[in-house]
């Protein structure tokens, strides 16, 4: 009797594409667990977070776990100079300043000084006010001023959380201001899921969708889009 070969000869049936498991959906119970044991929040951070959440625009605040990640990234890459495009009340600003060495600096940009003054009280309470440089005015003008002042390739990390229509320009300016090996972090890149909805052709959604595609194809960086907060895109300048 002839021996049968195994596996059978001939073309194999097509196999489904392997994909990684989906990220967990954070229900209230799981989110509360994460907030309790997954992050560490300075008392001044907590006070600023609660004060910010009472504002009419409080939903613009970065998430607790996202600013914790930014602080950890600052420590991991040994950052001493951080650029923030979009300060709001300075909650993320404070988290990043706390992660810096004593001689480190966060340069934060915003058109609204009143919001930043809310944060300034808590920056002072946390003992890091001297690490934060606030520049008032349109972000693009401030970024071009930094370049004119000779700040190209001098920052270690840039965090972008400002008007979405300006994101493509902010990304390019951030790359110019970052040193090789520096990180740019862009917030709101999942835009509450709208970027995955082809029917959503609103200006902000298209801007974020197109920018993600551009970063994905950009040979100047390595990148990863994370489902944290409202979507955080990290790109490392090569």
Cα dihedral value 37, 43, 49, 52, nearest 10: 170
Query: Domain 63-237 is of which CATH architecture?
Result: 3-Layer(aba) Sandwich (3.40)
2 pLDDT tier (thresholds 50, 70, 90): very low
* Range of weakest confidence among 12-16, 94-98, 156-160, 170-174: 12-16
Whole-number pLDDT of residue 25: 83
Residue 4 clears pLDDT 70, i.e. is over it: no
Kindly report, residue by residue over 85-139, the tens digit of the pLDDT: 999 999 999 999 999 999 999 999 999 999 999 999 999 999 999 999 999 999 9
Residue 6 clears pLDDT 90, i.e. is over it: no
Q: Which residues, 6+ apart, have CB-to-CB distance to 70 below 8 Å?
A: 92, 95, 96, 99, 157, 159, 185
Average per-residue pLDDT for the chain? 93
Residue 5 clears pLDDT 50, i.e. is over it: no
Kindly report, residue by residue over 21-36, the tens digit of the pLDDT: 778 888 999 989 998 9
Kindly report, residue by residue over 107-122, the tens digit of the pLDDT: 999 999 999 999 999 9
Q: pTM higher than 0.85 for the full model? A: yes
Whole-number pLDDT of residue 26: 86
Domain boundaries, the chain: 63-237
Whole-number pLDDT of residue 19: 60
Percent of the chain with pLDDT over 70: 92
Whole-number pLDDT of residue 20: 64
Whole-number pLDDT of residue 22: 76
**Number of other residues whose CB lies within 10 A of the CB of residue 123:** 23
Whole-number pLDDT of residue 117: 97
């Amino acid at each position: 009797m002839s021996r049968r070969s195994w596996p059978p000869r001939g073309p194999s049936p097509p196999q489904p594409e392997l994909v990684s498991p989906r990220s967990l959906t954070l229900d209230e119970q799981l989110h509360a667990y994460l907030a309790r044991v997954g992050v560490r929040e300075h008392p001044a951070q907590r006070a600023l977070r609660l004060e910010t959440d009472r504002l009419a625009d409080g939903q613009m605040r970065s998430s607790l776990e996202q600013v914790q990640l930014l602080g950890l990234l600052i420590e991991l890459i040994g950052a001493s100079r951080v650029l923030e495009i979009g300060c709001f009340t300075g909650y993320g600003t404070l988290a990043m300043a706390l992660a810096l060495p004593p001689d480190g600096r966060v340069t934060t940009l915003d058109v609204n000084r009143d919001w930043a003054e809310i944060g300034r009280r808590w920056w002072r309470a946390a003992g890091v006010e001297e690490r934060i440089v606030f520049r008032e005015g349109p972000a693009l003008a401030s970024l071009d001023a930094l370049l004119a002042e000779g700040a190209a390739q001098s920052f270690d990390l840039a965090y972008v959380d400002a008007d979405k229509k300006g994101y493509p320009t902010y990304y390019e300016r951030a790359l110019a201001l970052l040193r090789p090996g520096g990180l740019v972090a862009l917030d709101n890149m999942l835009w509450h899921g709208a970027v995955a909805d082809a029917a959503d052709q609103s200006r902000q959604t298209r801007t974020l969708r197109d920018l993600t595609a551009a970063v994905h194809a950009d040979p100047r960086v390595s990148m990863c889009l994370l489902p944290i907060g409202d979507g955080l895109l990290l790109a490392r300048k090569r």
